[in-house]
Structures are given as C-alpha cells and as structure tokens.
C-alpha cells in the first residue's frame, strides 16, 4: 500500500519527535511491505520565520493533497519569542486553527491510556490504577458554545454577556457516526455524554445519537450526564471505552482524563474530517525549553502515528504492532526523563525512537 503523509514538524521539540515517529513508520513500511511518501510542510513559528505568516495557502494545498497529516508541536515561549509580539492572527497557533478549519476537522480523538508500567504515575488510588484503563474521548470540534453567536453589552446599567450553544442534527450525526465506527475497532461500547436534564441542545444530541446507534446493533450505547461522567472518570475510569460528547464537555473531560494517566508525554490525539483523512499530533506542547537537547519523549507522537495507521489507512495490524512496540519498550525498562522511575534506564529522544523501531514485528 502507498501512503502519502504530510509532515508538519512545527516548533520547539516538534522536529525531534516527528523524526522519531517517521523512523517508526519507515520500519512499519519495511516490515509490512508498504511505501510511505513524506512531504514536509512549514506551519506555526517555523512558517513565520520563512514566510511571515503561520500558514500559507501552499501549505494548506500540500496537506489536502496528502492522505493524512502527522504534526509535531506548534508555538514557542510566549514571553520571549518574537512570534508573540505579532497580532493574534499572525501568531503560531493561528496556523493550527487555520489548518483545522481548512481541512474541515470536526472530530477530535483523545485517547487516555494507563500502561501497567506507568501505573505509579497515576494520581488515583492504587486499587483504581491497578485495573488500568484505555479510554477514547471523541469530542465534536467545530460546533457548540465555542462557535455560537456571542456578545457583550450593557443593559440597565449592568454588563451582560451572552454565548450561544447551537447544534443541528447533521453536526451531531456525523460525530456520532465517527464515534460508533471507532468503537467497532475497540471494545464496542459508546458512552454518550450530555446534559439532557437541562439543555435542549443535549436533548437533541441524545435523540440523534440514539438514531445513529440503531445502525450499530453490535455496539452498546449508554447515556451519562456530564457531571456524573466527570465523577466516574476518577472513581472508575476502566468502565469507559469511547466517550462521545460535544465541544465544551469534551474539552473539559479530555483534559481530566489525560491527567489521570499521570504522563502528558504519552498522550496522542487525532482530528478527523468526514472522510478517512485526519491530522495526528501529540497532546503536549512544543516545550521550547528542552528543544534540541534530545531529551523529549517521542512516544505520544509515535502513538499518534499509530492512530493514523488505524483510522486513516485502516491498517489495524500495523497499528497494533506500533502499540505493542511501545508497551514492550516500557516493559523492558526504558524511559525518557519525563517518565523515569527507579530501576529504569534513561534514554534520549533519538534512542527511544531507535528502540521502538527495533521492536516493530
């Protein structure tokens, strides 16, 4: 199979971690008989330095021409970098917002996985962390409160602000279909999270999700109110498989879920449109303070590449091999500094990439 992948190394540690993910992907291609074509794209601060803007039309065109996009990290030190003396629309993060809009990326996937070897990093009680968990949070990315009409005004001498939460049935249906499709690749359970006891938008959300569920008789659907879900994530995270929810709830719950893993350097993410196309990136930032020092943890980017194989190319066997390599490296006791524990062997970013690639079978 021929895979055309656009790479956005980005800023800070981005080039380092993307290089290691490419190393792993190239090993996958060799072992499984694929051909991978990589096209590098400038975005964020790297694009500002060359083109004066965080995202060019040419970069968008190159991304659209690819089958998927693998990205490192965007941005720099907001205090010292000259990028942050520019107007907001010309700063690095504007490039990220721009490419998400240009590629119509409406479905955000944030896995939260607690590996047995990293259980001591979990802030939850031992009897909870011992059970482990593997959660996929599916967040609607382009609708809801963040994109509704808003205004601030004065009425009767009082400052008043209004934000509007709007969803139509098509926006709900397309994210629900993605959620059920992904559940079929996992443990076949969807927990749809809403606030249907209060909000009309949530009542519509629940109704449309139930309509979609009728087409997936092999997938179990349950509904959960968002406040209960927040509680359950710290009480019994192992109960969840796919959490399907709207934009604001997903923003909050995905951050909560990521923290209970205890290690941001292990967290992948993906943003998908209504085809198989997706943009895959680690959840962490650009860490400019350690850029170029060969100490960054590339595992989140490697796991993002695994998601790319699974969801954009439907290569489950190859994705399983990458996931297994990560687990084996951790089992063998190798750690970058951010996840180092007593008795383990500390390695740098490049060496970690080598170790992961060696274990692709």
The residues that are catalytic are 146, 195, 227, 251, 255
- Residues with Cβ within 8 Å of residue 135, at least 6 apart in sequence: 111, 112, 113, 237, 240, 241, 242, 243, 257
* Structure-block tokens of residue 116: 């047995």
CB-based contact 205:223 (threshold 8 Å)? no
Distances (CA, A) of 132 to 275, 292, 299: 32, 34, 19
- CB neighbourhood size of 208 (10 A): 21
- Residues with Cβ within 8 Å of residue 179, at least 6 apart in sequence: 107, 138, 190, 192, 242, 244
Burial of 63 from C-beta contacts in 10 A (0-12 / 13-18 / 19+): buried
CB-based contact 359:329 (threshold 8 Å)? yes
* Structure-block tokens of residue 7: 């790479």
Strand, coil or helix: what is 342? Answer: coil
DSSP H stretches of helix in 123-280 = 126-129, 169-184, 200-213, 226-235, 247-261
Place of tokens 């489950």: 316
* Structure-block tokens of residue 329: 């490296």
Q: Tell how strand 278-282 and strand 68-73 pair up.
A: parallel
* 124 CA to centre of own chain: 22
Helix 57-65 crosses helix 92-102 at what angle (to 10 degrees)? 50
């Amino acid at each position: 199979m021929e895979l055309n992948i656009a790479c956005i190394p980005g800023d800070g540690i981005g080039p380092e971690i993307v290089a290691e993910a490419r190393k792993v992907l190239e090993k996958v291609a060799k072992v499984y008989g694929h051909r991978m074509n990589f096209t590098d794209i400038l975005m964020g601060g790297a694009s500002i330095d060359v083109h004066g803007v965080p995202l060019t039309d040419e970069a968008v065109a190159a991304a659209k021409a690819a089958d998927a996009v693998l990205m490192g990290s965007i941005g720099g030190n907001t205090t010292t970098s000259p990028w942050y003396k520019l107007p907001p629309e010309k700063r690095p993060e504007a490039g990220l917002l721009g490419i998400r809009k240009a590629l119509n990326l409406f479905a955000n996937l944030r896995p939260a996985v607690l590996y047995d070897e990293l259980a001591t990093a979990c802030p939850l009680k031992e009897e909870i962390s011992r059970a482990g968990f593997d959660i996929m949070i599916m967040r609607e990315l382009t609708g809801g409160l963040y994109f509704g009409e808003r205004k601030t005004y004065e009425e009767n001498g009082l400052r008043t602000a209004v934000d509007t939460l709007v969803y139509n049935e098509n926006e709900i249906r397309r994210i629900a279909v993605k959620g059920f499709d992904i559940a079929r690749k996992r443990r076949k359970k969807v927990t749809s999270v809403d606030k249907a006891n209060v909000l009309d938008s949530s009542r519509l959300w629940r109704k449309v999700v139930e309509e979609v569920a009728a087409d997936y008789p092999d997938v179990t659907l349950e509904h959960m109110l968002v406040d209960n879900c927040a509680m359950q994530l710290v009480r019994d995270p192992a109960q969840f498989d796919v959490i399907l929810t709207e934009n604001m709830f997903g923003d909050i719950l995905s951050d909560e879920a990521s923290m209970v893993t205890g290690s941001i350097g292990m967290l992948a993410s993906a943003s998908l449109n209504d085809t198989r196309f997706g943009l895959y990136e680690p959840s962490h930032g650009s860490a400019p303070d350690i850029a170029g020092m060969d100490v960054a943890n590339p595992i989140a980017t490697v796991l993002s590449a695994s998601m790319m194989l699974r969801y954009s190319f439907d290569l489950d066997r190859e994705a399983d091999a990458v996931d297994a390599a990560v687990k084996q490296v951790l089992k063998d006791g190798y750690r970058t500094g951010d996840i180092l524990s007593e008795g383990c062997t500390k390695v740098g970013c490049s060496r970690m990439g080598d170790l992961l690639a060696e274990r692709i079978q």
